[in-house]
A and B are shown apart, each in its own frame.
Chain A
């Protein structure tokens, strides 16, 4: 029996089908002509040069337009929140187009059903777009070749390309993409079956370092983020919800607020539910009071005088300390719900000479993306237009039209750069608040959340606990595993978003004796996906526990971990989400080699190893950690080796890994959200100590080129870090960290 699949139930999963979600390539080419509707959509995209360009340039498909002067405009379809996708996706197009990168100008694409999955989640943007974008580039290249060949009266097969130039070598003729663009764009798009793609060793763009397309705008302070948008006559809104999550408004001193300087109006929004649940395309809006003002500051100031009486009858009463106590009571026990049971794990562990039983715990954390949520919404003539930083742009129109009970065609959405995402912008709660406010205001309105709003009303990374039991045989080899997830649940049936254990190959499919059980504790605090959902916390548990087992078995951790992978095999051949132990062992061995695993370390200093497979990516990390007598931790260096297939942008890929390590240290050391009687205790960064620059380690990032097609890197670099650091602390001090954040055990960084 193996019901782990049922144990994992996250709404985001519904949006992330295991099969690539794009249309088949043949369908894509047929459908990819740009219609007039799309051209119109460009006109209202702010900050875009497309309004004029769209009329001058030649549109080849949804992604490529070539202007007569040779400028190649590539429309980047997915939301940019810091993962580098706005630059990465056009690189794939440009490669197969054989474009000179200097000719490329990147624009945000409109939000339209024609673009399919316009999301930034699950590290899926690169893998789900890969084939589609290669075809988009190669298709345009074929049309340009055909046009040039026709002009020269030579067979297409004799025309080659080289960085935006078309060449007929035999007659020594050359022309540029821009010069034949008009002619080429009139041709019928080729069938995908007929396209030629480059071999990886022919790549000139993919795998190189390309600086982010928005970097110039970023370093000069240009308006580029959602929060930067200003429209003529725009008003500024705030929205105040009950600090005890889920409370409803009874009454508020609206008249007093309306009389304050700069205040345009103030009103109660009934909302649709008390406690919201993660659901990007849903309609839930928490009750609250809207204030609309002529400026942000006048609004913030008026808000200080806002007095609201709340009905907290149905509100959350969660207190984090209660869960900690409940978990202590459950120590050493199995859960009542059995999710997987193969062989006879309980008995084998019970009878074993060498076994370990431990409980691990980790708190809630906030996404804390640096740009607080904001959204501009404009209601006019039964049309709702929104400008947002949503990570699920393709759900924004669904969500808004359902909420307002009007056709999807009456909702126009625009995507703007988000100042960090980490999963927070997957839900569109703040967009729904903005549109309900905008419906009652005769002007475009920007809803601005304060940092305090952002920290109190997150869909948090869920906290939880694991009872771990396992044994090793007489040869010191792992032979049985019994884990018990103690999770939080709103409905008593399944864990809340972000807690479900994904169906794991490791160690379930590697062991004869494996059991996994679950206990659900009631909780109303909203949770949702946070960078590498479930993996971000479970990797700490699993990989710390593997180290515990190696110590109990008196084995070298590296040897023990590699041995646990068994023979090289891919459990479900062709399924990228299924563990390939050969790729796993490769990253583990390579990181150990680069880190000098096994070398003698001075007192109080040690290396810690960890590996995790998630989001189709294989990442192993070694942390070099010093701990002094005052329990001050220094992470001297982290080595990271990843196999994520073909690298798209080497600079950005390294940046994601460096960021994953630093986010990892930040989170594992100091970050925790707690709640008391339904209210979140932390309010701002003074109580939520994100890592500062002086605590950064040296970071060595290395990619293995295994020849597999690419997967995303926004997430898989994060999970291994926590155990790497904690395992190093154990080796350096003998102190096993089983509770996060580490600072709760008296350590500082």
Chain B
């Protein structure tokens, strides 16, 4: 019996194989399908989640190693009062997505960046987002949206 702390609550995974990657436990077992499967080898970043606040690839983490640690997924990244994270707002404002498949992972990487650096420059953004592929090519808008979100944080927004 494996229990994980996901988005602030304890979730039971039953008698799951402890080698199961977090990605598939989230998607198939818990129905948290916002975390995406893209490559399975930590190349695309579509499965990015936070492990104790650090962005990681859920396809590479075995659930058996995660008990007692805090996991945040795209479904839990909004503010506690239910309002959107400034990044989620900025993503809608800039109409970032094309197909949208990578965007949950992009937002998770960006959220970790803003949590550590509220005024990132373009180089900071490039470094933080290097592990996330957007096949459709929305990079220009991703950078603009991160700057907009950072600006909102500067004016008292929450992340």
Contacts and interface: CB of A to CB of B under 8 A. Distances in A.
Interface string B118-135: 000000011101101111
Given A370-B46, A685-B39, A661 B95 contact: no
A655 interface: yes
B100 A218 contact: yes
A698 B122 CA distance: 12
B148 to A, nearest CB: 13
Given A218-B100, A219-B88, A693 B126 contact: yes
Nearest to A262: B17
A213 to B, nearest CB: 11
Interface string B97-126: 111111110010000000000000000011
Interface string A184-223: 0000000000000000000000000111101110111111
A372 B38 contact: yes
Interface in A301-348: 301
B92 A295 contact: no
Nearest to B32: A221
Contacts of A685: 38-39, 41, 43-44, 133
Contacts of B126: 693-694
Interface string B49-90: 000000000000000000000000111001000001001100
A211 to B, nearest CB: 4
A370 B44 CA distance: 8
By CB atoms of chain B within 10 A, which of A219, A420, A694 has the most? Answer: A219
Contacts of B101: 82, 225, 369-371, 419-420
A296 B98 contact: no
B2 interface: no
A693 B139 contact: yes
B12 interface: no
A297 B24 contact: yes
A236 B99 contact: no
A663 B78 CA distance: 31
Interface string B10-33: 000000010111001101110111
B66 to A, nearest CB: 15
A210 B127 CA distance: 30
A215 B93 CA distance: 9
B138 interface: yes
B75 A220 contact: yes
A47 to B, nearest CB: 11
A218 B97 contact: yes
A83 interface: yes
Given A221-B35, A685-B43, A661 B137 contact: yes
A84 B41 contact: no
A261 B98 contact: no
Contacts of B147: none
Interface in A222-245: 222-225, 227-228, 230, 236
A691 interface: yes
A369 B37 CA distance: 12
Nearest to A446: B28
B122 to A, nearest CB: 9
B33 A215 contact: no
A211 B24 contact: no
Contacts of A224: 100
A261 B17 contact: yes
Contacts of B35: 221
B41 A369 contact: no
A656 interface: yes
A555 B21 CA distance: 60
A261 B16 CA distance: 11
A420 B135 contact: yes
Given A209-B95, A659-B136, A220 B74 contact: yes
Nearest to B128: A693
Nearest to A419: B101
B141 interface: yes
Interface string A263-306: 00000000000000000000000000000000111101100000
A699 interface: yes
A354 interface: no
Contacts of B32: 221
A14 to B, nearest CB: 26
Given A221-B34, A221-B104, A451-B40, 19 more contacts: A218-B91, A218-B103, A219-B74, A220-B34, A220-B75, A225-B36, A295-B20, A369-B99, A370-B135, A371-B38, A418-B99, A419-B99, A419-B100, A420-B99, A658-B138, A662-B140, A691-B139, A692-B133, A694-B130
Interface of B: 17, 19-21, 24-25, 27-29, 31-41, 43-44, 46, 73-75, 78, 84, 87-88, 91-93, 95-104, 107, 125-127, 129-130, 132-143
Interface of A: 81-84, 209-212, 214-216, 218-225, 227-228, 230, 236, 261-262, 295-298, 300-301, 368-372, 417-422, 450-451, 651-652, 655-656, 658-663, 666, 684-686, 690-694, 696, 698-699
10 contacts: A82-B97, A215-B95, A215-B96, A451-B41, A659-B98, A684-B40, A684-B41, A686-B43, A693-B132, A693-B143
